[in-house]
């Protein structure tokens, strides 16, 4: 291939990859599989390696930086990045509206309400459609250049969509860590003996401060845009049009907003938004109210720090005070000892909390938490209960200090604190607690989905010495099971049948079940698309693994290390010998039906199956599932307590199926 032909092919590949990125990250409507995407990406990589003069900064291959940077350069914002004034009192919003009326007497205006994202403010500068710089807010005038790190966030386009992009567009928004990703990364950090992040905002801020973009690429970061700085060649008459315009340019702007003609309408919308507080993928701690008509902004003006045309209303933190009765210590799957607070039951964010993580010994000392204290409990990331502080004024002098055990509380084996870690770790690989947690993970719904293999049975199997690894599950006999407490012949037969069925689970489920650090459901599915079987995966080098989409250096090294551990390889071989096929299943040819080629969003609880099971049924019939509702969604399946996705479907006039209608459509195509 000569240079001209290469340039044409490279241009085509870049356009295709940009479009598929937009469909995947902005529209939530992918058209090709990850495997097909990877093939296009690798072809582009090879051509650029062959013709290095054709490499451009906006190429999809340049998204993740290579070498670590030495430090951040300072950037002066063309238009200052102001912060909003905050209030917790609705009467102050009425006063805000009255001030607006005094500043623009007789001029009609409306409002827009958006969720207030608890993240890190960011400004992206595009020139002629090309991303040239990303900067943090800093002091509002000068921020840090974090372009190399921002390029690692897949939903941020390196080139704007559209044939005629504006000469200059500064898009401003919030970088956040997804709540589900926050839980995962904290679990991984604790398993690795590292200090967990306090909350998603701290995790996002810490990620952007990393000097190695390859580390940032492993963090589950995303972004929502809601404002602009300098503009040239484009204008937005209203804030609502601004949000729509940013989306049209390929930027992820908020789809949840309310346009109201009065402050009374905004006050009502704030109540609606609060009811959706836990439905967003990010931490949402209030609402931002803005004048919709942007031509009024100059007249309304600003104070030294805040605009007079916008204000933030913050909801009260969902925290409660209770008594810390005891501190127990759990031993995790990797041997990490984690202190857990045993609490007087208390309600937080609609849930009754009896236990909360204390993370590690250093955290307990830093917060000076003592047994018997009155403590404050919140849900970190609105999901994980955590002790966030102590009411020292309630102390009586009877409280006692806590010390971590000198030996494993389960097996009494030695515990160590490795260099660079904050956690103690049990060194005994045959520790019953580690084995139990591994077996529980192996049998869980997101992995092998072995029905009936619950906590009580796992406890008995490990305590009796019958099971010392997941491979031992497949050597169980009816006699062994029947001899356990509360296990009759029928129950034993059901367990054996469930184990038999699990042998033929999808390859990705088996990979997820192995418990490879950093490899969850999504990563396991990506690996299944890239490797036919476990033996091919075992032969892959870290460099080959890292070349796979969404698998960075940390994950690649983790997979390689796990699969080259002698004990792990022995257990995998034992599983294969027991009939567990670690290979990609041949896809069944699905008959044409109502779900073929359709995108379905599941929301709320289903009575007849879990959402994961419903998603598999849809996939088995040639459909796809998505986590968000967009104009490209074909159906929304709404179960009990359906939330904002239901409202979005109504807004977009997307067909909504209740559980009964959903199963009628499934049955029309045959049994699962």
Looking at the annotation, which residues are catalytic?
Answer: 116
Inter-CA distances, 211 with 68, 77, 208, 214, Å: 6, 22, 8, 9
Please check whether residue 402 is in contact with residue 371, taking contact to mean a CB–CB distance below 8 angstroms. yes
Nearest to 296 by CA among 112, 83, 117, 82: 112
Q: Which residues contact 170 (CB under 8 A, 6 or more apart)?
A: 78, 79, 123, 124, 125, 126, 228, 229, 230, 231
Q: In what side-by-side order are the strands of the sheet with 258-260?
A: 86-87, 310-314, 284-291, 111-117, 258-260
The Cα 10–Cα 54 span in angstroms is: 8
Burial of 82 (0-12, 13-18, 19+ CB in 10 A): middle
Write the CB contacts of 164 (distance below 8 Å, at least 6 apart in sequence).
Answer: none
414 secondary structure, DSSP code: B
438 vs 515: CA distance, rounded Å: 7
DSSP annotation of 276: T
Phi, psi angles (nearest 5°) of residue 354: -115, -25
What token pair was written down for 403? 């010390």
Distance CA 227, CA 250 (A): 14
Handedness of CA 25, 26, 29, 32 (dihedral sign): negative
Whole-number Å distance between alpha carbons of 258 and 402: 49
Q: Which two tokens stand for residue 249?
A: 């340019």
């Amino acid at each position: 291939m000569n240079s001209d032909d290469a340039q044409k092919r490279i241009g085509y590949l870049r356009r295709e990859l940009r479009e598929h990125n937009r469909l995947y990250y902005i529209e939530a409507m992918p058209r090709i599989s990850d495997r097909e995407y990877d093939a296009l990406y690798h072809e582009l990589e090879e051509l650029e390696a062959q013709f290095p003069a054709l490499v451009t900064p906006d190429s999809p291959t340049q998204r993740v930086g290579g070498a670590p940077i030495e430090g951040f350069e300072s950037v002066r914002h063309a238009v200052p990045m102001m912060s909003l004034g905050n209030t917790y009192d609705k009467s102050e919003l009425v006063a805000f509206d009255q001030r607006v009326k005094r500043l623009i007497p007789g001029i009609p205006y409306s409002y827009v309400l958006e969720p207030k994202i608890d993240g890190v403010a960011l400004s992206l500068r595009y020139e002629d459609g090309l991303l040239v710089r990303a900067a943090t807010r800093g002091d509002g005038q000068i921020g840090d250049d974090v372009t190399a790190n921002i390029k690692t966030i897949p939903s941020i386009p390196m080139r704007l969509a559209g044939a005629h992009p504006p000469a200059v567009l500064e898009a401003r928004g919030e970088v956040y860590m997804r709540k589900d990703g926050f839980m995962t990364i904290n679990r991984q950090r604790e398993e690795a003996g590292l200090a967990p992040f306090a909350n998603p905002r701290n995790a996002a801020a810490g990620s952007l401060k990393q000097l190695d973009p390859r580390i940032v690429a492993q963090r589950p970061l995303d972004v929502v845009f809601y404002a602009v700085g300098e503009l040239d060649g484009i204008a937005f008459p209203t804030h609502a049009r601004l949000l729509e315009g940013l989306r049209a340019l390929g930027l992820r702007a908020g789809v949840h907003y309310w346009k109201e003609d009065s402050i009374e309408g905004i006050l009502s919308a704030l109540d609606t938004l609060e009811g959706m507080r836990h439905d967003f993928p990010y931490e949402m701690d209030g609402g931002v109210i803005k004048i919709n008509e942007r031509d009024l902004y100059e007249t309304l003006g600003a104070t030294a720090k805040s605009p007079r045309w916008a204000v933030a209303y913050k909801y009260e933190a969902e925290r409660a005070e209770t008594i810390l009765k005891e501190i127990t210590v759990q031993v995790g799957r990797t041997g990490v000892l984690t202190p857990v607070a045993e609490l007087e039951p208390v309600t937080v964010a609609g849930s009754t909390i009896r236990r909360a993580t204390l993370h590690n010994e250093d955290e307990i000392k830093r917060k000076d938490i003592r047994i018997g204290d009155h403590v404050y409990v919140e849900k970190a990331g609105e999901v994980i209960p955590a002790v966030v502080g102590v009411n020292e004024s309630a102390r009586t002098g009877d409280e006692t200090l806590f010390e971590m055990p000198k030996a494993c509380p389960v097996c009494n084996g030695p515990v160590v604190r490795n260099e660079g870690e904050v956690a103690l770790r049990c060194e005994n690989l045959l520790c019953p607690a580690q084995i139990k947690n591994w077996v529980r993970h192996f049998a869980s719904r997101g992995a092998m989905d072995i029905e009936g293999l619950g906590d009580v049975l796992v406890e008995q199997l490990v305590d009796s010495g019958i099971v010392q690894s997941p491979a031992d599950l497949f050597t169980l006999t009816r006699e062994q099971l029947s001899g356990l407490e509360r296990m009759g012949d029928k129950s034993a037969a059901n367990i054996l049948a469930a184990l038999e069925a699990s042998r033929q689970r999808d390859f990705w489920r088996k990979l997820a079940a192995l418990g490879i650090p950093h490899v969850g459901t999504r990563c396991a599915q990506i690996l299944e698309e890239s490797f036919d079987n476990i033996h091919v995966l075992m032969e892959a080098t870290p460099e080959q693994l890292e070349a796979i989409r969404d698998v960075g250096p940390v994950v690649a090294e983790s997979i390689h290390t796990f699969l080259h551990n002698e004990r792990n390889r022995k257990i995998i071989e034992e599983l294969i010998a027991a009939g567990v096929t670690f290979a990609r299943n041949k896809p069944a040819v699905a008959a044409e039906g109502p779900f073929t080629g359709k995108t379905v969003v599941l929301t709320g609880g289903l009575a007849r199956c879990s959402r994961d099971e419903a998603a598999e049924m849809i996939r088995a019939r040639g459909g796809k599932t998505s986590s968000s509702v967009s104009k490209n969604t074909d159906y929304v399946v709404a179960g009990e307590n359906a939330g904002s996705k239901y409202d979005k479907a109504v807004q977009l006039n997307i067909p909504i199926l209740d559980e009964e209608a959903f199963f009628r459509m499934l049955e029309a195509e045959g049994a699962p």
